[in-house]
């Protein structure tokens, strides 16, 4: 058995020992199961007077030598008659310097406001304070910087904040610690999660969707009776936008000092008049979309040292004809694994979760995109949405596969909807396929092979589920080198340093080779021989026997009208063409 040993001489398991026998941790009776949001008096904190900066937030650009600084000035307005602030009223200036250096630089950015409008009578409209975004460039790698933001012409500058830049992309340089969590909200449990995160001193924070939960409230600030509620009087789902401001103020001590990258969840959709969506999300945060070739703020990529991160959206089109899919294929095809050996993807709802809540809810997305991620050798996938923790064995297409990603569910940030504690494989808890919503249509199906053949759910914890636990907490990823990364998960009810789950995730590039900077179709041509039928024949490939370690999945559409054979190692793989008509 191959184990890594930490500084205390304690053996830590590695994925090389897997697949692991599935484990379910018993429910801790000491948990706060009856979650509630913080009282407004605690949420609101003290707002900066006049145009003093608040809700300060630092995020990464696509490169190590630049970061974004964001903040808000001026008061939001809510009511029947609102008058948006003029963004030109105040400047967007950042002063920055290497920590303890006397040489200060200045950068200037842009500003905006957004509105959340509800035409029905009796509902309150919202207009934000002035939101500022400033890109600062020319930064040194892996260096601590100090900065202030605001408008010096009216003596409205913030106090000093600090951030550390990412290392230069390369196989030997990585951020020390990357914190990962989803579904935070603003509850008493959230406060514990955030306190533990800060105590673990990350260099980078990933927030995997569902941030403020403003859409759980009506426009008058009272709690809604249900999520997605609508009525004849109010055909649009209401939100209470000031909760975004409360959330931003509460999070400032963390996100003003730790570069933070976010991806949207369903609670960020916030549909309003004229079917506009994601207004708060797309305005309050800034993303390296353009720098990474994306045309949308809802999906993008960036590097952090020797890691390439891909942030995807489950809430816009993702089929093979979509802009997002084409962008993803191009982005993955351009990754040079000699420069960024680690490839990590994140989006909000999980493909692999064994909890009844949201069970197999995004099958359409998995069907469309899983082959692409598998082919390009994605190492780790982070998801939220389900309010619990779960780590998978390496898996592809619901089968154990040593070259598949490790899927990690971290929707355990502490939100007001509470923990998910019911598993789909327990008697009587398997959801009906017809009750499983899917953004891409209806893709639910019963398994056709394996222990769950003919069923929608397993009768026991699935083999691909390595560890699951219903607790609030957060995760820490520490990439050690181009093949080893230490993952630890920290539950809230214990001291922040104690790991409830810990494992070394080990890449095996020799066993699971990827071809850097090579398009999917090009590699198929290089790897396989196709003998075309006469053009008059019509034929189609209906399936391939199953995934083979180290072999990329082959889309049947590629081989329409062809017989294909390929050699993998010492074994011959034959794809049989059927359905040939004279």
As annotated, the active-site residues are 358
- 490: nearest Cα among 505, 477, 503, 474: 474
**Tokens 């703020």 -> residue:** 297
Cα dihedral sign, 259-261-266-268: positive
Listed in sequence order, the residues at least 6 apart from 268 whose beta carbon sits closer than 8 Å to its beta carbon are: 209, 210, 211, 278, 280, 281
Backbone angles phi, psi at 302, to 5 degrees: -160, 165
How far apart are the C-alpha atoms of 393 and 494, rounded to whole Å? 25
Report d(CA 295, CA 191) in Å as an integer. Answer: 35
| Token reading at 522 | 């090009």
CB distance 301 to 63 below 8 Å: no
Residue corresponding to tokens 């070259």: 403
CA angle (208, 333, 486) in 5-degree steps:
45
Number of other CB atoms surrounding residue 272 within 10 Å: 22
Continuous segment of H or E residues that includes residue 486? strand 484-491
Under DSSP, the state recorded for 47 is P
Q: Which residues contact 64 (CB under 8 A, 6 or more apart)?
A: 139, 141, 142, 165, 166, 167, 168, 169, 303, 304, 305
Phi-psi region of 242 (alpha: psi -120 to 50; beta: other; left: phi over 0): alpha
CA 141 to chain centre: 24
């Amino acid at each position: 058995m191959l184990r890594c040993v930490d500084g205390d001489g304690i053996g830590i398991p590695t994925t090389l020992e897997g697949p692991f026998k599935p484990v379910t941790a018993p429910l801790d009776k000491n948990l706060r199961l009856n979650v509630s949001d913080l009282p407004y008096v605690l949420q609101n904190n003290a707002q900066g007077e006049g145009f003093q900066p608040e809700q300060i937030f630092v995020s990464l650009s696509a490169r190590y030598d630049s970061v974004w600084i964001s903040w808000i000035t001026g008061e939001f307005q809510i009511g029947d008659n609102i008058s948006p602030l003029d963004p030109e009223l105040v400047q967007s200036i950042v002063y920055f310097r290497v920590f303890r250096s006397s040489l200060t630089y200045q950068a200037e950015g842009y500003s905006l406001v957004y509105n959340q409008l509800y035409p029905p009578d009796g509902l309150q409209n919202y207009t934000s304070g002035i939101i500022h975004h400033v890109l600062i460039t020319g930064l040194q790698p892996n260096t601590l910087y100090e900065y202030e933001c605001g408008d010096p012409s009216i003596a409205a500058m913030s106090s000093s904040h600090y951030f550390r830049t990412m290392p230069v992309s390369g196989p030997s340089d990585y951020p020390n610690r990357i914190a990962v969590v989803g579904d935070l909200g603003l509850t008493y449990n959230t406060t514990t999660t955030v306190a533990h995160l800060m105590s673990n001193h990350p260099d980078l924070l990933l927030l995997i969707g569902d941030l403020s939960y403003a859409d759980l409230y009506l426009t008058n600030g009272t709690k809604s009776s249900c999520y997605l509620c609508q009525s004849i009087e109010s055909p649009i789902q209401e939100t209470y936008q000031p909760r975004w401001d409360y959330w931003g103020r509460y999070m400032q001590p963390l996100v003003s000092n730790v570069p933070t990258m976010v991806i949207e969840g369903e609670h960020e959709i916030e549909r309003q008049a004229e079917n506009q969506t994601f207004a708060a999300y797309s305005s309050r945060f800034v993303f390296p979309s353009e720098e990474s070739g994306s045309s949308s703020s809802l999906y993008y990529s960036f590097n952090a040292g020797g890691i390439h991160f891909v942030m995807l959206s489950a809430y816009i089109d993702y089929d093979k004809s979509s802009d997002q899919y084409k962008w993803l294929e191009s982005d993955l095809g351009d990754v040079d694994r000699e420069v960024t050996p680690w490839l990590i993807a994140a989006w909000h709802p999980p493909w692999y979760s064994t909890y009844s809540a949201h069970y197999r809810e995004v099958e359409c997305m998995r069907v469309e995109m899983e082959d692409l991620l598998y082919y390009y050798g994605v190492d780790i996938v982070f998801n939220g949405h389900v309010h619990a923790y779960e780590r998978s064995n390496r898996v592809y297409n619901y089968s154990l596969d040593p070259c598949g990603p490790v899927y990690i569910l971290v929707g355990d940030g502490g939100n007001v909807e509470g923990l998910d504690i019911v598993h789909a494989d327990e008697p009587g808890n398997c959801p009906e396929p017809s009750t499983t919503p899917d953004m891409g249509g209806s893709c639910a199906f019963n398994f056709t092979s394996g222990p769950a053949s003919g069923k929608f759910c397993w009768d026991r914890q699935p083999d691909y589920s390595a560890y699951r636990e219903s607790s609030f907490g957060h995760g820490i990823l520490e990439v050690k080198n181009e093949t080893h990364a230490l993952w630890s998960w920290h539950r809230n009810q214990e001291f922040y340093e104690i790991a409830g789950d810990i494992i070394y995730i080990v890449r095996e590039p020799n066993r699971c080779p990827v071809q850097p900077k090579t398009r999917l179709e090009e590699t198929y041509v290089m790897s396989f021989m196709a003998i075309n039928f006469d053009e008059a024949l019509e034929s189609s490939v209906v399936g391939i026997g199953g995934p083979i370690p180290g072999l990329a999945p082959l889309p049947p559409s590629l081989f329409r009208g062809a017989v294909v054979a390929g050699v993998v190692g010492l074994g011959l793989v034959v794809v049989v063409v059927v359905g040939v008509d004279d």
